[in-house]
């Protein structure tokens, strides 16, 4: 039986038709189709099901459309019909616990969710003066973040990582341990096997309060880009219900790659690493939709893939400039088995001074100073040229090295409440202070 929602999808807004005149790679050029950019259309293939596509631009009087699927069977003269002028996605509380594709179709083998509302996929971000100030922390359950790089409710952060450094495991920890009311997980451009592994190994029981939107790497660039918009739209819906939403986005780089593919097919000129200007206009439009509002908040974590942890990756640099925080996963820490491999010194949470109390901020600063002192003397320590007593802060860091590593190391199954994290941070800061005093020959604090 056809559902009510499916019947609505079959209602044409107007009989606007054009015809295919040429193809450019996977995109097609259509004549006599006066529809706006972003509109959804269908290509009527002979002997095959209709092919859904999106309008991406115009050139020489022709409309360029980018199919959501492989354009096999498309021929010159095929009819193209308007489906809707504005892309939409169906949202509602029934999405919780579900795994969907970029069009809202079920991927988990269960019946399609029903009785959903319709939301625009490309909604405008909240206006600057309508955003609520971020003053409250959001406990993530990840000790190194809650203790040293505290996240605020509504903060937007980048997880900058190379391959194999545990970003998926970290995202799974955030989904299971965070104090957020709802998780929205976007898996964009992932390998097919990694999706099931993430659900079974990393997300696990966190699925019950999550909505997962999937567009694997073999799907078209239009589907990958739509998945990014869909996940953000779902997160916005739950924010409007007054909830604290956590958006876990893996990965922002693959969204940029999808837009690059679409932009180049339209004839845009490539710039840095082949990314055309449309990529750099897309990122702020997408990222600004998250954050805090008068109703609720979206705390977003966007993973950014980099080949090396240098500063020459254009998407990484753009994300650092647009977001409120960045957490850098370090290969050196991963090689030592110190997971999550967050390099505290290369990472920053710009909102931590606003959401952490003064005592917490002071303890975190003491630990960061100890890590910085140890890094400064690292070369001397490696060659055996450092002499104990030369610097009290380095001596303290070396004597408390095991405690520093223990605080930052956390297994995926280990839970750390804000109270426990705060207590351990306080004890670590006191140990460092005592060791500094002892190194100077002064009495330690009682």
Kindly report, residue by residue over 45-89, the tens digit of the pLDDT: 999 999 999 999 998 899 999 999 999 999 999 999 999 999 999
Using the predicted structure, report yes or no on whether residue 364 has a pLDDT greater than 90: yes
Find the range with the poorest average confidence among 115-119, 300-304, 409-413. 115-119
Q: pLDDT exceeding 90 applies to what percent of the chain?
A: 73
Q: CA 63 to CA 55: how far, in whole Å?
A: 7
Using the predicted structure, report yes or no on whether residue 166 has a pLDDT greater than 70: yes
Residue 143 has a pLDDT of 96
Residue 1 has a pLDDT of 45
141-153 average pLDDT score: 96
pTM for the model: 0.91
Residue 7 has a pLDDT of 56
Cis ω before 196 (30° cut-off from 0) = no
Residue 36 is given by DSSP the state -
Give the CA diameter of the chain: 88
Residue 116 makes CB contacts below 8 A (sequence gap 6+) with 5, 90, 91, 92, 94, 95, 104
Number of CB atoms found within 10 A of residue 25's CB = 10
Using the predicted structure, report yes or no on whether residue 350 has a pLDDT greater than 50: yes
DSSP, residue by residue, 302-341: EEEE-SSSSS--HHHHHHHHHSSEEEEB-HHHHHTT-SS-
> How would residue 116 be classed by pLDDT, with cut points 50, 70 and 90?
confident
Residue 273 has a pLDDT of 81
> How would residue 189 be classed by pLDDT, with cut points 50, 70 and 90?
very high
Using the predicted structure, report yes or no on whether residue 329 has a pLDDT greater than 80: yes
> How would residue 9 be classed by pLDDT, with cut points 50, 70 and 90?
low
Kindly report, residue by residue over 206-222, the tens digit of the pLDDT: 899 999 999 999 999 99
Q: pLDDT exceeding 70 applies to what percent of the chain?
A: 95
In sequence order, which ranges of 69-108 are alpha helices (DSSP H)? Answer: none
Using the predicted structure, report yes or no on whether residue 266 has a pLDDT greater than 80: yes
């Amino acid at each position: 039986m056809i559902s009510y929602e499916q019947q609505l999808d079959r209602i044409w807004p107007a009989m606007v038709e054009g015809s295919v005149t040429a193809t450019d790679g996977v995109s097609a050029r259509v004549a006599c189709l006066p529809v706006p950019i972003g509109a959804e259309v269908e290509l009527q293939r002979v002997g095959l099901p209709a092919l859904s596509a999106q309008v991406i631009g115009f050139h020489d009087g022709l409309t360029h459309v980018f199919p959501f699927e492989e354009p096999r069977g498309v021929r010159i003269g095929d009819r193209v019909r308007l489906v809707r002028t504005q892309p939409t996605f169906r949202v509602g509380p029934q999405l919780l616990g579900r795994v969907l594709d970029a069009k809202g179709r079920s991927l988990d083998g269960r019946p399609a969710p029903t009785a959903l509302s319709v939301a625009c996929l490309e909604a405008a971000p909240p206006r600057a003066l309508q955003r609520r100030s971020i003053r409250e922390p959001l406990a993530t359950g990840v000790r190194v973040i809650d203790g040293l790089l505290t996240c605020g409710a509504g903060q937007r952060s980048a997880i900058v990582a190379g391959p194999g450094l545990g970003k998926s495991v970290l995202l799974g920890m955030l989904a299971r341990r965070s104090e957020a009311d709802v998780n929205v997980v976007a898996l964009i451009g992932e390998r097919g096997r990694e999706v099931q592994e993430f659900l079974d190994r990393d997300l696990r029981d966190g699925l019950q309060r999550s909505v997962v939107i999937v567009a694997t790497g073999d799907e078209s660039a239009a589907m990958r880009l739509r998945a990014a918009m869909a996940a953000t739209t779902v997160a916005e819906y739950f924010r409007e219900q007054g909830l604290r939403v956590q958006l876990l986005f893996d990965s922002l780089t693959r969204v940029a790659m999808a837009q690059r593919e679409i932009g180049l097919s339209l004839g845009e000129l490539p710039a840095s690493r082949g990314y055309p200007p449309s990529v750099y206009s897309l990122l702020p439009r997408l990222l600004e939709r998250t954050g805090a509002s008068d109703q609720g908040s979206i705390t977003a974590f966007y993973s950014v893939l980099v080949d090396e942890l240098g500063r020459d990756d254009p998407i990484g640099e753009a994300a650092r400039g647009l977001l409120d925080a960045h957490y850098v996963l370090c290969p050196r820490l991963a090689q030592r088995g110190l997971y999550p491999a967050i390099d505290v010194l290369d990472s920053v949470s710009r909102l931590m001074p606003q959401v952490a109390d003064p005592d917490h901020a002071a303890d975190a600063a003491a630990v960061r100073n100890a890590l910085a002192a140890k890094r400064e003397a690292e070369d001397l320590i490696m060659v055996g040229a450092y002499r104990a007593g030369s610097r009290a802060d380095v001596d303290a860091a070396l004597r408390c090295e095991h405690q520093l590593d223990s605080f930052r190391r956390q297994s995926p199954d280990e839970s750390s409440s804000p109270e426990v994290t705060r207590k351990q941070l306080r004890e670590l800061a006191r140990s460092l202070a005592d060791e500094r005093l002892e190194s100077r020959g002064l009495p330690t604090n009682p």
